[in-house]
Structures are given as C-alpha cells and as structure tokens.
Chain A
Amino acid sequence: MIPTFEYKVPRTLTEACDLLWQYGDRAKVIAGGTDLVISLRNGLIKPELLIDITHLPELRRIEERNDSVSIGGSVTHSEIVSSLIVQTYGRILSEASSQVGSPQIRNLGTLGGNIVNASPAADTVPPLMVLEAKAKILSKEGEKEIPVSSLFRGPYQSALQPHEILVSISFKKLGQDMKGSLIRLARREGMAISRMSIAVILQKKGDLIEDIRISIGAVTPIPNRMKEAESLLKHQRYDTDLLKMASEKVSSEMILQTGIRASTPYKKPVVEALVERAIRRAFGDTQ
C-alpha cells in the first residue's frame, strides 16, 4: 500500500525551490514517477510531500544554443526520441531513450528522473557520459553547473541534495566528424533492464582515431569513463589488435570496480566483445 502524502504542483521554479528548502528530506520531487512510485509502494520512502515538477516550463524544453543542446530535467524519453535537435546533435542519447522500457514508460519517464534515480542500469547515463554532459542544478542556495558524471555516489544514490532540482542537462553538439555508437544488451527485446550497455563517441581522421570516449552501463556501481582504454586508442591507427587490447582494459576496469562475481565469467568476454563492436561501429567499420 502506498502511504498518504501531500501533493503540490508549484508553478514556478522559485516556488519549487522554496518548498524543497522548507521540507528538505521530508519532500520528494516527482516527475514521471516511474521509479518513485515503485519505491513508495515498496515502502522504501515515505515522503510527507510530493512536489510535481512536470509543469515547470524551464524543465520541459529542449533548446539549441549556439554550440550546445540543453534538455530540461522533466523532458520525457518519448520527447527526446522525437526531438530533431537531439537526433541531429546527440543521436546516441535519442537512441538510449528509445530503448527505455516500453512506450508507456517512455511517455512518463524523464531524463532527470533517470539520472537522479541513479540506477547503474539507467539507459541515458552512458551516452551522457560520453557526451560530457553538464547538469544545471538549482536550489535556494543558488545555481550551479556540474558534470553529470559527478552526480552519482553509488547504486541508487544520487549526489544531488534533497533540496536541489536538476533543471537541465546540456552537452556540446557533436561535430560532423564525431560518430557515436550505442550497444545495449538485455534479456529480452522490450521492457527489460539493461544487462550491459556501451556508449562510444569517436572522432575519426582518415584511419586515425583522433579522439574517443567510452562509457559502460549496468556493470559498474556508478558510471565511469573508461580512461585507460581511451588513452590507449587516442591518436592511434584503427587496428583490430589495438581494439582488443582496449576492450581488455575495459573489462579489467569493470572487474576492478566490482570484484570477481558469479557473473564475471559471462560479463568479461561479453563486455570486451561489445566494446570492440561499439568502436567498430563508431569508426564506420560497418559491423
């Protein structure tokens, strides 16, 4: 049973921040509710107040600003999928949103919710990591802009304070020579939590890997960039042996973070294969 609570729909961001300041951790922000309601029902949280932020215009916009794209915290996955701006300048993110849950979940679930819920399997996070996205955070204390990567403390533990609101996410538009690729593995085709996902953005110059960013999802407690693999590949000629070495760097990093588990014999070869596959795709070595 879901316990009773108050429900407020602030009309301005200031009003929302005031409420959050006043209630602190006795309040919870609700966007689509697709994560929150489950926690309510399971008795994991018992907020006195729910603050519905889905009517705040600042959180509902997708905007193009010179060299960057900004997406409001309450923009839904469906809206991301159908946004031409995101498709053009951050395709990897629209692909990720298109794979979330089911149409019903995508119609309700939001980008902000996906990030703040801090599930290791959150689908939009690895793409945001390789897009080097920034989060605009607002509270009574003021506004700040910090990298999305700094928003995670542990599985299901956001670094966001209870009184803070994630207003928007922004990232630099990808250049023509930057290609992204996203691979997602799940136990079934729809409505399945990701078992593993790989996001890669690669800048190519002839047969050189000019720049590369790699992030993996669902297999580490918090999202990471695979820095060692990246530096191994950066400025190098594209080469299958090198790919293999890089993918092994990724699996070592994964094991370093999680320790050897019962699932490691499966995950290690698979993460390696999928990292290679994602890089091949991003490089345009069509496979």
Chain B
Amino acid sequence: MRGIGLNIPKVDALDKVLGTSMYGEDFSFSNLLHLKVVRSRIPHAKVVGIETGEALKVTGVERIFTAKDIPGNNRIGVIQKDQPVLVSDRVRRVGDPIALVAAKTIEGAEEACEKVKVIYEELPFVKTPEEALRPFAPPIHEKGNLLIEFNLIKGDIQVGFKEAEIIIEKTYTTTWVDHAYLEPDGGVAFWDEKGRLTVICPTQNVHYDQREVASLLNLPIEKVRIIQPTTGGAFGGRLDVTVQCFLALAAFHLKRPVRLLYTHEEVFQVISKRHPLKIHYRSGARKDGRLVAVEVDILGDTGAYASYGTTVAVRSAIHATGPYEVPHVKIRSRMAYTNNPWSGAMRGFGVPQIAFAHESQMDLLAQALKMDPLEIRKINALQVGGETATGQLLRASVGIRKTLREIERWRNKISLSKFDPERPFLRRGIGIGSMWYGIGNTGIANPSTAQIELSPKGEIKLYIGVADIGQGSDTALLQIASEALAVEIKEIQLIRADTSNTTDAGSTSASRQTYITGNAILKAIENLKKEVLKEASFLLHEEEGDLFVEEGFVKHRQKFCIALPIQEVARRTGRTIRGEGYFDPETTKLDPKTGQGSPYATYAFATHLAEVEVDIETGKVRVLRVIATHDVGRAIHPKNVIGQIIGGVAMGVGFALMEEYIPGQTISFLNYLIPTSKDVPEVIPILVEDQEPSGPFGAKGVGEPALIPSAPAILNAIADAIGERIYHLPAKLERVLEAVQKSKSD
C-alpha cells in the first residue's frame, strides 16, 4: 500500500503552520468596497418601509441595496426555498437581513447601517414548536407552520408493546447549539477577467452556492464562479448560504470588488443552529433484554426557515432506534417553524440529539432489568443479516458488536472508585453510549464526480468539487488517488472546490466525501487507465487487450520488457488523457407512508465509554476520560480519523455539559461556552475496521460519528455517579445539582 493507512502529513498543514493559507478575509483589492448588513432586531413583523435617505448621506457610502435590487429569485434554501436574501415584506426572526450597505470604509458602512430606518408593523411571534402547531397560531410562512411530518412504521407497535415485559417512557429535550467555528464568515466578490461574477468565501458546497447566486441574479450558471478558500471549520453551518449572496449582489451592481466580513457576534446571531428536539420515547423489552418495541415522537424547532429541517426530522427518525434491531417500530417526527433563530445542519443532522434519547433508554432498560448496560446493547446490536427500522437488510460492515467488545475489554481494566475519601463531595461514574450513522444523504441520489488528467508535460491533475473544511478530505482523497494510480501524492496536483474548474461533488456533509468522492475518484482512475491503454496500444503497436496498468506502468501480458510509465504515455501522445468518474451510493427512496426503504448504502458505528466525576454540592461535572471505539470501515489516514474522534469528543463534552445558545442572551464566545483544552478529557481512540465492500479501500466515514456517542456516554456516566438521570441537555451546573437533590429525596 502506497497511501492508504499511512499517516502522511496533511497536505494543507505546512501552509497553515506557516500562516500562508488564504482564508476568506485574506483576499484583498485596492479599490474594494466594504459591505455591512442591516438586520431585524425583532422576531416577527411586517416591513412597511425601509428609509435609506439618512444612511446614504454618511461619508463614503456608495450604495444601499434592498430586495428591490435583486434581479432574480429572492428565495434561497437547500431543500425548500423559503428564505429571502433580503427581506422585502416580512421579518421572521431577529437577524433577518433587510438591507445591504456598500461603503468605502467599514466604519462608514457601520454608521450607515445604524441610520437605515426600518418601519415595522409588529406581529405576534411564535416561541415554541408546540405553540406553532396550535390552531390559529400566527402563520410564519404561507403554507403554515408545519414544515414536515415524517412517519416510520415497521411491524405492529401494539403487538410489540404487548410482548414487552418492561416499558420505559421518557421525554428528552435538547437546545440550540452553535457550530462555534473559529473563522468568522467573510469573503470577497468581483467580476473576473473572463466576465464571471466570482465569489471567494468559506463554504461546504461551491456548486450549491453557484446555483443560488445564479438564480438570485438571473445569471447563466457559468457566469458565476464560486471558490472555496482555506476554511476555518464549518460543522454544517456553511452548508447554507452565509455571505455569498450579499457579496454577489453588491459586486454584480457595483462592478467593483466588495468584501464582507462578519463579526463573531454576527456569526452567532445569524448562522443556523443545531435543531432543538423534544423527544418522547417509549421502549419495550422482554425480560431477557431483547427490544421488542420502540415508539418515538419527535418535535423539532426549525426556527424561521426550513434549511435542513426536513433532513433532521427524517434522519433523527431513521436513527431513533439506535444501532439495535427492533421488530416493532413507530416513529413520528415533525418539524415546526417558529420565530426563533433558524436551525440548520450541524454535525450529525439530529442524530446526536436522538442518540442521547436512545442511549438513555437503553441504560434505563438495563437498570430496570438489572442487566449490565453493555450486555443489553450486545443482545440488541445490529449485525450482518440484520434489519434496520426502515427494513434495510445490512449486508456487510456492521462493526457495532466489535466496538462493544473493545469497550468491554477496556471496562474490565478500569478501576474507578465511586467515592473519594479525601473529597466526600465527589461521585464518580462510568457510562456507555453507542450510535449508528448512515453515510451520505438520506434516501436520495447524492452523487459525486471527479476527473483525473495526465498532461503531455507529465503532470497528473485531480479535479474534485469537494470543499475541505479542515477535516482533511484533500489529504484522504489524494491518498486514495495516489494508491489507485500508484504514484506519489506529491506528483498529483489537486484542483478543488472551484466551480469553474471542478464538477459537482455535492456537499461536504453527512460524513460522505471520503466514501462518495473517494469512489468517484476510483472510477475516474479506472476510466483513465482505459484511456491510457488505448493510447498505449497505438504507441506500442500492441493489442489493447494484451496491455494492462500496474504500479503506474503500462505492461504487457506476455512481453515483460514493456513497462511504460503512464505519464510517459501522455507525454508521447502529446495530448491530455482524461478519466471521468461518477459515484452515487446505492439507496432507495423511503416509502412516504411508512418510511421503509434503504436510505443509505452503508452505516458507521461507534461506542464511547465515559468516566466522569461529579461534585454533588455544586453540580460541576468533569469528564475524566473517554474511550472511543469507531467502526470506520477502513482508516485511510488513521491520524486524521483520530483527530476527528478527539475533536468529536471535545464537541460532545460541550453538547453534554455546557453548550446552549439562548436567543436574546448569547452574544458570542463571551458567553457561549465551549470546552477549553482544560475541559477536554483524555481520549483513547480505538479504530475498528470492519471494511465496507462498496467503500474506497473499505472506507466509510467518521466526521459526524465522532461526536455522536460522547454526550450519551457522559450523561449515562453522570446517572451512574449520582443515581439520578438528566433528561435535558446541556447538563449544566443547575440541572446536575437538581438531579442530585432529587436522588437524595427519592
């Protein structure tokens, strides 16, 4: 193996260490104008008038744009197009964009923003999804406040509960969580020398952005170019449009370069959040621990706009059973519009929330049945030949049992004492959390494409539309290409995430790029090799059928003296040889009534074990250690996989213990707390490689799975430590103390 499984330096590492990477805000022009967005300060109102007269008088102000200046479609959205780029008639949340100021200085733009007068007619606003769905609730969009209701039905739930000898029924809630990426959104836009309106800014999907910008400006798609620069994190927050449309609109009209940089405060206020879910969960099991029935009702708050609300509703429902085989399942999952901050994609699309619920349920069942929490998971865990809640037969790469076995080995070694004689106010506990995660988009085509070229100069170029948001797809995908071509990575030039040079790879989300684009690259290389053989057959006057490519050389089946480097073939023919690849994972559409089908081609599995220490007098929780086992299929770059896992645990600690976006209160990192290096526990990552036959060299995905089991494990560990369970995230000081008090009074 040349590249696979090797911990080569990340290809972007050197630039980052040297500080030479170019982020969105690093692009500069001498004559650029600065943009600032005027935003709504109230959650729900009719916009009766927008007065820009005073603002236009501010020195340096060039122009102020409103919805009237949009030549094309003023509606964007990844799934449902329900979000205006600039509001024309109605604001639906605090932070809704109303006008866009272009000025010579940032100060001027800021001052003008203050002077734009918006005249509102306030409307009653909807604060909770329950309220939103009541009859006569103020409608937030014309079609009403229910974005989606998704149902998943397998077996007969009544039969299931009849068979159950123990039933556990609980309600769990989670709240808004911010992605907390460190690089604020920002970028530039300009008309390039070829007459293309070009936008450079962080994103997770350049081709989606291109379509939105083209539609906004009524431009032919090829007249819009989106380039993703080095990006400082995303976690789903950059799947929706952020600054793209503002930049494009201003540059379109002004015909000169513009720049827009959000402040951290703005990022916190205007970028989507993790969906708060309310999960009512009922599970039934037999005395031997076998799950027989799972009934779940999920209600989510998508806020003012749809974004990925549908995806989260569906994905959380599909994953609601956890990685377990359950014969009778009934799930209803709804998402409602409110006038709260809009929720969107965030690492896991609802699965982190639902995993908190299903793993709490597993522990509650184990407790009621006086079983070992590991045992009950082993009894129910999916395996090859097993069937998921959507009726999908799992054919390979189901590593959940292996992760449980690894955790068991570790648990046997742990000697954590519940009490500390020196500090009687401490309690310690351990907890387990498992998860499964479907790789790729849910039950829809989500292909990727790639091209590979050999130029007459002997260069090798790989073209992919993939946005590397820091997670390391550039490196992993180059490793895949290098392995398949049998050439060194440094010989391959990577051209990526630029709509003018690459084709659609879909988004960097759903843990899909290694698996899907990895496969597209393999296809491209396969096709390239065919082309090379065709050319070589001409050059060498040999039958094409006698030739084959091995280790980067064209060889002959009988004539062993023939060994022509593939680059040499291109050089000699004097033409560029090209291979194109396409891959779309094998999925089926889900039945609209029952949700049955095969939504994903493959699943990742994981189990974490957390050790925690709780101060029962203050409610302070310290996570001491997390043992994280992940079935990733095959680790293309083990260090990067481990990096994802450790980062996932860090984020999981935040989700479990402290992260909470409070509308109207949260300002920025000032009062939105994420774990610091001092809060992140020791992490012991363990890779279980149950290879996926359809994956590139057996790989699946790990980006989101890394996060998902941490919070459930931590919450189960807290319950173990204090003898009382917490049903609402985050488990902040007050909630933990309340649980301690409850356990004492019980």
Contacts and interface: CB of A to CB of B under 8 A. Distances in A.
B620 interface: yes
A286 B678 CA distance: 25
Contacts of B142: none
B658 A1 contact: no
B12 interface: no
Contacts of B733: 185, 187, 195, 266, 270
B676 A273 contact: no
A274 B658 CA distance: 21
A39 to B, nearest CB: 13
Contacts of A190: 676-679
A49 to B, nearest CB: 20
Interface string B92-112: 000000000000001100100
Given A188-B673, A277-B425, A287-B423, A1 B106 contact: yes
Contact of B422 (A187, A192, A263, A287): A287
B618 interface: yes
B614 to A, nearest CB: 13
B618 A185 contact: yes
A286 B673 contact: no
Contacts of B619: 266, 270
Interface string A255-287: 000000001001001100110010000000011
Interface in A163-206: 185, 187-192, 195
Contacts of A266: 619, 733-734, 737
Nearest to A273: B617
Contacts of B647: none
Interface string B663-676: 00000000001011
A188 B675 contact: yes
A274 B679 contact: no
A134 to B, nearest CB: 33
B625 interface: no
A191 B675 CA distance: 9
A205 to B, nearest CB: 25
B732 interface: yes
Interface residues of B, number: 24
Contact of B679 (A188, A269, A286): A188
Contacts of B677: 190
A33 to B, nearest CB: 16
B135 interface: no
Interface in B577-630: 617-620, 622
A123 to B, nearest CB: 16
A195 B671 CA distance: 12
B422 A286 contact: yes
B679 A1 contact: no
B724 to A, nearest CB: 16
The dominant DSSP class at the B interface is loop
A269 B423 CA distance: 18
A51 to B, nearest CB: 24
Interface in B711-746: 732-734, 737, 741
Contacts of A191: 676
B678 A277 contact: no
Contacts of A189: 622, 676, 678-679
B425 A273 contact: yes
User: Which of A102, A263, A269 has the most CB atoms of chain B within a 10 A radius of its CB?
Assistant: A269
B19 interface: no
Contact of B618 (A188, A192, A263, A273): A273
A270 B106 contact: no
A102 B676 CA distance: 10
Contacts of A192: 673, 676
Interface in B335-361: none
Interface string B630-652: 00000000000000000000000
Interface string A45-85: 00000000000000000000000000000000000000000
Contacts of B679: 188-190
A106 B617 CA distance: 29
B424 interface: yes
B73 to A, nearest CB: 34
B732 A187 contact: yes
Contact of A188 (B106, B425, B658): B658
Given A188-B676, A191-B676, A287-B423, A269 B737 contact: yes
Contacts of A187: 658, 673, 732-733
Contacts of A274: 617-618
A102 to B, nearest CB: 8
A71 to B, nearest CB: 26
A270 B424 contact: no
A1 B34 CA distance: 14
23 contacts: A102-B676, A185-B620, A187-B732, A187-B733, A188-B676, A188-B678, A190-B676, A190-B678, A190-B679, A191-B676, A192-B673, A192-B676, A195-B733, A266-B619, A269-B617, A269-B737, A270-B618, A273-B425, A274-B617, A274-B618, A277-B425, A286-B422, A287-B425
Interface of B: 106-107, 110, 422-425, 617-620, 622, 658, 673, 675-679, 732-734, 737, 741
Given A187-B673, A189-B676, A189-B679, 13 more contacts: A1-B106, A102-B676, A185-B618, A187-B658, A189-B678, A190-B678, A191-B676, A269-B737, A270-B617, A270-B619, A273-B617, A274-B617, A287-B425
8 residue pairs, one from A and one from B, having the closest CB atoms: A189-B678, A273-B617, A190-B676, A190-B678, A266-B734, A189-B679, A188-B679, A1-B107
